[in-house]
Structure 1
Amino acid sequence: MHCQILILLFQVFKTTNCLVIPQITGELPNCYFDPIQLEIQSHCQLADPKFHEPGQVDLLIGADTFWDLLDNEKISLGSHKPILHNSRLGWFISGPLGISTPNHSFCHLSTLDVQKQLAKFWEIEELSCEPILSDEKFQAEGHFSDNFKRGSNGRFTVAIPLKKSSEVLGDSKLQATNQFLQLERKLSKNPKLKAMYTDFMTEYHDLGLMSIFSSSNFKPTYYSPHHGVLKEDSSTTKLRVVFNSSVPSSSGVSYNSIQMVEPVVQEDLVSIMLRFRQDQYIISADICKMYRQILVQEEFHPLQLILWRADPMYELQTFSLNTVTYGTASAPFLATRCLKQLAIEYESLNHHASRVISKDFYVDDLLSGADSFEEAVRLCQEVSSILKL
């Protein structure tokens, strides 16, 4: 009989989606009863002739399909008794039996461990947990605290956390020169790209982010090759110049390899997103060119050198990068740690805004919110005010 029903279903519905699970429910009906008491007419061929015997439910048909199986013909078996409905599969019987049966109940429950899920949720939401730092990461945190400074205009100046002396660096200028000449030939074939690249580097120099470097024979130096990353869909900077400080020098050591592996000082993205979903009014923003806002102490300038000229007719010049630079290993930590420091220093001035700066930034992107429109606007203004300091 089961096979016949499946064949008929296939004939009616050529394609259907089914979810295969170990069990739908317990046995139905929950006890045996005598169908003779229902006085079902003999000409009614039932879809399930053994409906009166407890058995497993093999197939649960959804309402979107079930009603297409029914015909208009139906027969009432009497007061407080079932009704017979004719269908493409035979007669269905449904309704009260009108006979005495043992009183059994079914309880349907989920096997999902809710306790563990709730515990995991609160672990994610726990705001007071501080990461356990390795020795190197602990040193990086201490190095920042001992060496950062703020100028009279409020701007941060930081030291690069080195785990090895820069004396281990070999020659890097020759390789940087060869790579720049390759870049120059590439740019010469694409005037539009060359113009964008030149504009980027010119702006970098005009803003004081890089300056001409006077070489010294008494200090180790490191030259970083650079290349452009083009993002046509960007609404701001179409071209970003990336500085590659991972290229090994002649000693096999690069600038990045002698820097400490820094700790992550911001909240994880899952925690930020969970809080973000709770607010009625939401705030999304980012800090414009965050790395450029942070100066590097002059003693580290010889380790942040690049080669550049706007045209092959000019002499190739050496420039030092004067700010935290995209492409150096310590840049993410130094930038986000400065952001964290702002939250620490202005916590007593504005606890709410400082907490947002400390907890709701993921690198340079802010995801936060408030319960009212007025509060959200005020929070935007307060966060911006602290960052401008």
Structure 2
Amino acid sequence: MLPNAHVDVSALTHLEKLPLADLDFALPGNIDILIGAAVFPHLLLPNIVRSEQDNLPPAIETVFGYVIMGAVPTSHSSRYTTSCCSVLQENNINSLVKRFWELEEISAPPSMSHKDLECEEHFRATTVRDNSGRYIVALPFCGDPYSLGDSYAVALRRFHCLERKLNSSPNLRRAYNDVIRDYIDKYFLSPVVSDNADCVPAYYIPHHGVVREDKISTKLRVVLDASCRTTSGQSINDILHTGPNLQGDLFNIIINFRLFKIALSADCRQMFLNIGVHESDRRFQRIFYRFSNDEPITVYQFNRVCFGLRSSPYHA
């Protein structure tokens, strides 16, 4: 017997001198073991000790000793409450039933925040497709681009740091050059020919390489540090919407694997880089690069959604 309220044992005189299965049956405690219906009947023995009063529970003999089942008075109330092998305070029943339904209830997806709704509106109003069918998106600003300070100096300084690392490792330099050339050949990246930076703000992004030895195809990924702060204390990521989380629910994805005998898993190659960016927003995706120390440093800008911007996962 496992109550969650103290049992008034003074009324249970018929239990005196019985070898009980649990000497502390009258006190609330932790559950030590759950016995299923398939096993419980085999534990029962024939003896049953009853009280002279019909409203008191009988003691049933088991292989563990006598157990008490039925309605019993609690120490806090003169009323009797009943539950199978346990005692419940009557004022707890409502909260327990409520908790049961809360556990069984299927949770509804949370409603989108005001910022997420703004981002969705911006996406619907600005996303188009070009003649080839490629999606073209605009950066979802939540702040004023004119609030960005100077990012040129810090990005140039960070590039010189990267270049020293590339110069010390010919293999890394070769791999980095190959990635940048591939970006240029595929029109992911273009050199900036003319600039009116005095009139319109721009953002220069420091970048570095992440080497993944476990990758079969591209072992080096160029990652942009779009959280690098400008002289105003803000970065491009500070003034971009993140957007609502559109990823599938992991639990549902795992459950879906049980629907069929065979499951296929795939990845989108250069997924972000296959989404175009409006020409007016490309100036916020600029980087410095040169293929050797003998060349002048060139300013490039991404024509596609790049890895490192806060809004990129949402766009993809």
- TM-score normalised by structure 1 residue count: 0.56
> Structure 2: where are the runs of 5+ without partners?
1-30, 48-60, 67-83, 86-96
SS at match of 2:136: strand
Aligned with 2:267 (options 280, 286, 289): 286
Q: Does 1:134 align with 2:119?
A: no
1:116 offset after TM fit, Å? Answer: 5.7
Deviation at 1:201, TM superposition (A): 0.7
CA contact (8 A) 1:232 1:238 kept: yes
Aligned with residue 331 of structure 1, among 305, 312, 315? 312
Partner of 1:22: 32
Indicate whether 1:199 and 2:178 are aligned: yes
Quote the residue 2:10 is aligned against.
none
Equivalences for residues 61-80 of structure 1 within 5 A = none
> Does 2:270 align with 1:270?
no
For 1:228, what is the secondary structure of its paired residue? Answer: strand
| Cα pair distance change 1:310/1:56, threshold 3 Å | farther
* Counterpart code for 2:32: P
> AA paired with 2:202?
T
Q: Residue type matched to 1:157 in 2?
A: I
* 1:230-287 deviations in Å (ceiling 9; x for gaps): 0111111100010110000000000000001311123222112212222233221122
Distance 2:147 2:235 in 1: 9
**Counterpart of 2:167?**
188
CA displacement 1:324-368 (0-9 Å, x = unmatched): 111000000011xxxxxxxxxxxxxxxxxxxxxxxxxxxxxxxxx
Q: Distance in 2 between matches of 1:140 and 1:151?
A: 22
Shift of 1:200: 0.4
* Distance verdict in 2 for CA 1:116–1:285, change over 3 Å: farther
| Alignment size in residue pairs | 239
Runs of 4+ displaced beyond 4 Å: 24-29, 115-118
- Aligned match of 1:228: 209
Question: CA 1:140/1:314 → structure 2, altered by over 3 Å: closer, same or farther?
Answer: same
Give 1:34-73 correspondences, 5 Å limit.
Answer: 54-55=63-64
Where does structure 1 lack aligned partners over 5 or more consecutive residues? 1-20, 33-51, 58-106, 336-389
Read off the aligned partner of 1:30 and give its amino acid letter. L
Alpha-carbon distance between aligned partners in 1 of 2:218 and 2:123, rounded to the nearest angstrom: 30
Matched residue SS, 2:242: coil
Q: Structure 2 counterpart of 1:55, which letter?
A: F
Counterparts in 2 of 1:117 and 1:178: CA distance versus 1, 3 Å: same
Q: TM-score, normalising length from structure 2? A: 0.69
Q: Higher helix share goes to which structure?
A: 1
In 1, distance between residues paired with 2:146 and 2:234?
A: 10
CA offset at residue 136 of structure 1? 0.8
CA distance in 2, matches of 1:240, 1:168: 30
